[in-house]
Amino acid sequence: MRTIQGPGIFLAQFLGDKAPFNDMTAICQWAAGLGFKGVQIPAWDPRCIDLETAATSKTYCDELKGKLADAGLVITELSTHLQGQLVAVHPAYDALFDAFAPEAVKGNSKARMEWAVQQLKYAAKASEHLGLNAHATFSGALLWHTFHPWPQRPEGLVEEGFTELSKRWLPILNSFDECGVDVCYEIHPGEDLFDGVTYEMFLDKVNQHPRACLLYDPSHFVLQQLDYIRYIDHYHERIRAFHVKDAEFNPTGKQGTFGGYQSWANRAGRYRSPGDGQVDFKTIFSKLTQYDYPGWAVMEWECCIKHPEDGAREGAVFIRDHIIRVTEKAFDDFAGQATDAAFNRKLLGLL
């Protein structure tokens, strides 16, 4: 077993137009001041990183790491959630997801996808240059609009959708493999990889690719009413990244998992700051530690009630207090005695 690394913080939800959130050096100093030890960097934000330069210049990456080291921080992972989403977009969502793309490819779904694929390949090389071994992203979705089958799905539709999704991702996974980096899909509603079954369907299509790994975020499973504890038992060998995000599900006589088109504050299922929801993090940290999880515990702030700065301040302490420093000895060592093969056979009545 090993001790989980942390606390880390995902910077995406904190970046803004006002200091200290509008500058990489300043936001890192802010995060370090709260007690965070690592930052997960959104690779789509040029204030944080120039992804193409990071992919082509080891010197640039060394300088970026040095800047973070000056603040007492390291990079936990890069994130391409927005670019990963654009690897696979159903036409019904084109207008909405164009917001994630540069002007040059908006309105051109093929060019947008090619741009996204290249971004992921840049992220693989950038991660290698930064000395990282895990990368956070989304899978994108071609089938999500059919998740509740009415009218019924035509025979072969799901098979075709996952065949196409895997076709787009296999070259990306191979690029990450060449760079020695795991692709950690955040299993998330709105993606074609939204639970364990869909992840397994994808794994089958990519031939159980060793780099097709997982970002574990229990909050999404609370909203789906999926057993997020047993999920760890099923997939711990593939979990290579971890978002500490809380959630709660409080169904009423008027709404349940689908939320009734309500705002986040008025949904039965909603995201909360760590410690304010229903997620059993004590058991999660115990299981991940027991299963020798090799990565970071990274806070992702998404809460419809609490101010983000309060969430961050509390989140650093919350993660720190949940990390289990693993023991180097058995609790009953004091009662042990030296043994050898002959003694063991004697105890078994064989001598």
CB atoms within 10 A of CB 263: 9
The average confidence (pLDDT) of the chain is 96
Q: Which domain holds residue 177?
A: 5-347
Q: What is the CATH number of the domain that holds 187?
A: 3.20.20.150
- pLDDT at residue 15, rounded to an integer: 97
Beta bridge partners, 214, equal 185, 239
Q: For helices 58-70 and 24-33, what crossing angle results, to 10°? A: 40
pTM for the whole thing? Answer: 0.95
Q: Please write the tens of the pLDDT for every residue from 237-257.
A: 999 999 999 999 999 999 999
Please count the residues of the chain.
351
Using the predicted structure, report yes or no on whether residue 337 has a pLDDT greater than 80: no
Q: Per-residue pLDDT averaged across 167-191, rounded?
A: 98
Number of domains in the chain: 1
| Calpha distance 144→5 (Å, rounded) | 34
pLDDT of residue 332: 73
CA distance 194 to 212: 14
pLDDT at 161 over 80: yes
pLDDT score for 196: 98
User: DSSP H helical segments within the chain, as ranges?
Assistant: 24-33, 51-56, 58-70, 81-85, 94-97, 109-129, 157-179, 196-205, 218-224, 228-235, 281-290, 308-322, 341-347
Please report how the helices 281-290 and 308-322 are oriented relative to each other, as an axis angle in degrees rounded to 10: 50
Model confidence at 263, in pLDDT bands (50, 70, 90)?
Answer: very high
User: How large a percentage of the chain has pLDDT more than 90?
Assistant: 93
Distance of CA 78 to the CA centre of its chain: 10
Query: What's the gap between Cα 1 and its chain centre?
Result: 21
